[in-house]
Structure 1
């Protein structure tokens, strides 16, 4: 996603690590359980301006930025704000989904079987794409599967209407307005029709769920028909994803990462997903893996250590290509799912068995409480908002270190109880 939406929806569903080192690019998939009630009230945040007046101002801007009046009028014919889009945008799921459940769904038997079949069916096209952009075919098919179930679920919303609704509402209006202008440029260039420009409630489009600004920058016409059609052409969609990953620093012939085993008494504080060391350095700290980290090809590659469910669960060393996937969607859980699904498509996947399934995930209310209590105890977690990001994880880690606990930065129900206990005894 390319100018991709912040992954707040996906993060609320997964309830886990957002890597804030790079900007988000793609729009998260729709959240299960989002209300689509048509009774959602649409009131612009910044002003009481009517939609007609807002539209008139947008029209002037669009024409000044090169959109023809005809294209604008055709795109906005009959367009009114969509209450379902507002309901989806304002929805913030209360409970988090454990990462192991998310990965089980992402690397499902159906998705693996279907992905393998499509690897074979599109082998010639995928080989040509890989030759041009140097991105592994299995990674591209994994992205395809995660973003749209291999083109089966591209969204059924009118992208112009969705983006106009979000821009008019006023929250993050500059972002949505830029996406809307970009969508108008796509229509003007003739790559798709107004009726064909379908996507998610947040404007993510096609088989690879590109935002419009990303589309303009990275979409390609790979099948040679003169249009960059990520809706109907799987070749264009896959090549566009490959182009984006390539320009995000993808390293050919290198893996995204791999599972590792940590030694006893390991210092979990350095497993913060930020500290980068060479594989040789990680190995010197006692970390082992089935992968030969000491080979000449591997030893000097840099990696970060990731514990998706804390010290009680599996551990992964994440290399440069993982960071490229994060630029597509800035959720570590999403990027991990892409890597594991790609492995499974190559027949190299053993599901982790040491997930701490006894853990109870915190609700949004509890995460907000945790942040508030940590702040009160002098561990700065930032503004309490129920979203566990870099600052909150560092605050958790500092609290754990002060209490002599494994400093993995992982917020679960037991940690909240510990924080409550300390707060009461202040």
Structure 2
């Protein structure tokens, strides 16, 4: 999923003056970059737990291969709905809503985001938690932060991921998607810091926990301007908020269509 971390948040995560580690386009130089980046991370407020975790990250060839092979979403809407299995997502979403209606009602009261939106995203992002990804989250983040093509965007997310380790919100061995996306709804680390919400009241934000993932996703939408009780079909103000979640139009349309069917 494409998630855009506001430039102001990135600036807060990593002071401009500290951004000096040399990037690269191959694995050669990665270890030297790690050593330089550790100093930057410390200056940006990363603590010892995060710094220790950084020493254990490795260059992820799988992440680079996935990044280099991105082709964008070019399907028609009908093809996309079929390929992504939206009928199955709707069926699964309806079952989960019925089984946990009180929880989703509370989330909607707090954030104004209906269950259908959250469940459509949950189904599309991780198959309702059936697959979080196969890549080490920290190594994926570090690899694209080091890569010269992606440093500007992912440097802040790597610092955020290390801060999540500091807080005990992310296990250094956690697995995610190819670009370091985390948990049930595949947040990037900077978005966990910016929009993460403690849905189960245990004092931490764990996107591998369903309650926290749903609350955090709802908070993301609310903070992006979601209007409670208003429609979210294409052309509405709320559909503009769905665009903040993913850059592909057919993905946005699929979320709105699946959500309407789940809530219908």
- In the TM superposition, what are the counterparts of 1:145-294 in structure 2 within 5 Å? 145-195=123-173, 197-231=174-208, 233-257=209-233
The equivalent of 2:82 in structure 1 is 104
1: CA distance, partners of 2:37 / 2:182: 22
Could you list the runs of 5+ residues in structure 1 that have no partner in the other structure?
A: 6-21, 24-42, 258-316, 348-426
Asked if structure 2 preserves the Cα contact closer than 8 Å seen for 1:135 and 1:250, the reply is yes
**Distance (whole Å) between structure 2 residues aligned to residue 165 and residue 202 of structure 1:** 9
Name the TM-score, length of structure 2 as normaliser: 0.86
Query: CA 1:251 to 1:81, structure 2 compared with 1: closer, same or farther past 3 Å?
Result: same
State the match for 2:252 in structure 1: 335
Residues 162 and 320 of structure 1, relative CA distance in 2, 3 Å threshold? same
Equivalent pair of 1:140/1:242 in contact (CA under 8 Å): yes
Alignment partner of 1:325 out of 214, 227, 242? 242
Unaligned segments of structure 2, at least 5 residues: 8-22
> What is the Cα deviation at residue 156 of structure 1?
2.1
Larger Rg: 1
Answer yes or no: is 1:80 the counterpart of 2:58.
Answer: yes
Contact (CA 8 Å) 1:3, 1:213: kept in 2 or not?
no
> For the residues of structure 2 that align with 1:95 and 1:220, how far apart are their CA atoms?
30
- 1:112 and 1:55 map into 2 onto residues whose CA distance is 44
Higher mean alpha-carbon deviation, 166-175 vs 118-127, is at 166-175
How many Å separate the matches in 2 of 1:221 and 1:124?
Answer: 17
Q: Secondary structure at the match of 1:115?
A: helix
Partner SS for 1:327: coil
**For the residues of structure 2 that align with 1:214 and 1:109, how far apart are their CA atoms?**
29
Superposed CA RMSD:
2.4
Normalising by structure 1, we get a TM-score of: 0.55
Determine which structure has the larger helix proportion and give its number.
Answer: 2
Structure 2 match to 1:52: 31
Mapped to 2, the partners of 1:159 and 1:340 lie a distance apart of 31
* Counterpart secondary structure, 1:318: coil
Q: CA deviation at 1:107?
A: 5.5
Deviations 1:53-76 (A, max 9, x none): 111110100111111234312343
Q: Is the 8 A contact 2:115 2:263 kept in 1?
A: no
Q: Is the 8 A contact 1:107 1:340 kept in 2?
A: no
Specify whether residues 146 and 68 from structure 1 end up closer, same or farther in structure 2 by C-alpha distance, changes over 3 A only: same
Q: Which moved more, 1:160-169 or 1:47-56?
A: 47-56
8 Å CA contact 1:159, 1:198 repeated in 2: yes
| Aligned-partner Cα distance in 2 for 1:328–1:94 | 15
The number of residues matched between the two structures is 249
Query: Larger relative CO (CA 8 A, sep 6+): 1 or 2?
Result: 2
- Conservation of the 8 A alpha-carbon contact between 1:180 and 1:212: yes
Q: Is the 8 A contact 1:2 1:215 kept in 2?
A: no
Counterpart residue number, 1:345? 262
Cα distance in 2 for partners of 1:323, 1:333 equals: 13
In structure 1, distance between residues paired with 2:205 and 2:103: 16
Distance apart, 1:221 and its partner CA? 0.6
Question: What is the deviation of 1:109?
Answer: 2.9
